[in-house]
Amino acid sequence: TQLLEQSPQFLSIQEGENLTVYCNSSSVFSSLQWYRQEPGEGPVLLVTVVTGGEVKKLKRLTFQFGDARKDSSLHITAAQPGDTGLYLCAGHGSGNTGKLIFGQGTTLQVKP
């Protein structure tokens, strides 16, 4: 069974601090996606990483896919209150059936 484990589960920081969220697995994933979800809404896709070692930047967010495609990280520089939310990593299950396997999520609170 493919599993994705995210850490930390909860993170509360002050505005301006940096943070990193980790998404780890013992399985290889063909790609990983990062989503952000706000209360009462659906997940919104932030980025997809496909190639081992790939790094993608989205303004103050930096996403990295591990060389072995078993792990990924999300780094936020100079966090702002608007970054508050639930961050989810997800990978496509084996067999190319289309289903996404999600991590448990990281709840981020950025205090002004």
Nearer to another protein, 9 or 26 (CB): 9
Residues 87/35, Cβ–Cβ less than 8 Å: yes
Range 69-108, binding another protein (CB under 8 A): 88, 90, 92-93, 96-105
Cα(60)–Cα(102) distance, rounded to whole angstroms? Answer: 23
- Rule CB under 8 A: say whether 44 interacts with another protein: yes
> Cβ(65)–Cβ(58) under 8 Å?
no
Closer residue to another protein in complex, CB, 76/92: 92
Closest distance of CB 22 from another protein, Å: 15
Beta carbons of 88 and 100 less than 8 angstroms apart: no
Q: Do the beta carbons of residue 4 and residue 88 sit within 8 Å?
A: no
* Residue from 43, 54, 74, 79 in contact with another protein (CB under 8 A): 43
Residue type, position 45, single letter: L
- Inter-residue contact 9 to 105 (CB < 8 Å): yes
Nearer Cβ to another protein (74/88): 88
Where do contacts with another protein occur on this chain (CB under 8 A)? 30-31, 33, 35, 40-45, 48, 50, 88, 90, 92-93, 96-105
